[in-house]
Chains A and B, each alone.
Chain A
């Protein structure tokens, strides 16, 4: 069973509007969540993270929201730009876990149209 789910394989947004990417998780032991961005022919690059002690973290145009009771997080990009077009991966981890590994979702391909 997938522990981290990104149910939308793709999302298309107009330039200047808000992009909202969603992620759900099932393991309540996860206490650290990250978003990665991936362009074709490149490795994933770290975008933003949030600890379970917070419900929001902001970095410029990117904001991650965490709803622990719903086991849901989302990434908001405002305003969206064509250069944001990429695949976005949600990942979750457990600081106290023995593995210290991340579980990744399958990704959402964002297309921002000019």
Chain B
């Protein structure tokens, strides 16, 4: 079983709809992240969370919100989707307690979101 899972894997929605992307991990990591990938732009950080009570904005948080429901779950919401939010979305985790590789992030398989 995959350590980091994302649901759904693909989603098509319409402008103005609210949509939630979910991420779950079984790695026991404390930190979780949401990124989006656009062609030619690499990976850009949307939000990150260092523990359940800690949520922080990343580089491109406008138009998004997140919820850390438990250590293992981190969801990303688009309150009112717009076409330029069409992208690949990735969840990632890392473990601050691992002194050797604490900045190494482990990614889920991604969600392809299309906003029409």
Contact = CB atoms under 8 A, between A and B. Distances in A.
Chain B contact surface mostly: strand
Centre residue among A32, A43, A105, A106 by max chain B CB count within 10 A: A43
Chain A contact surface mostly: loop
A100 interface: yes
Given A99-B56, A101-B33, A101-B58, A46 B104 contact: yes
Interface in A22-47: 32, 34, 36, 41-46
Interface residues of A, number: 24
A104 B43 contact: yes
B96 interface: yes
A68 to B, nearest CB: 17
A89 B50 contact: no
Nearest to A46: B104
* Interface footprint category on B: 20 to 34
A107 B103 contact: no
Given A42-B110, A104-B44, 17 more contacts: A9-B40, A34-B103, A36-B107, A43-B108, A43-B110, A46-B104, A46-B105, A49-B104, A100-B94, A100-B103, A101-B58, A102-B103, A102-B105, A104-B42, A105-B42, A106-B40, A107-B42
Interface of B: 4, 31, 33, 35, 40-45, 48, 50, 56, 58, 90, 92, 94, 96, 101-110
20 contacts: A32-B103, A42-B110, A43-B107, A43-B108, A44-B43, A46-B104, A46-B106, A49-B101, A49-B104, A89-B42, A89-B43, A93-B103, A95-B103, A100-B31, A100-B50, A100-B94, A100-B102, A100-B103, A104-B42, A106-B41
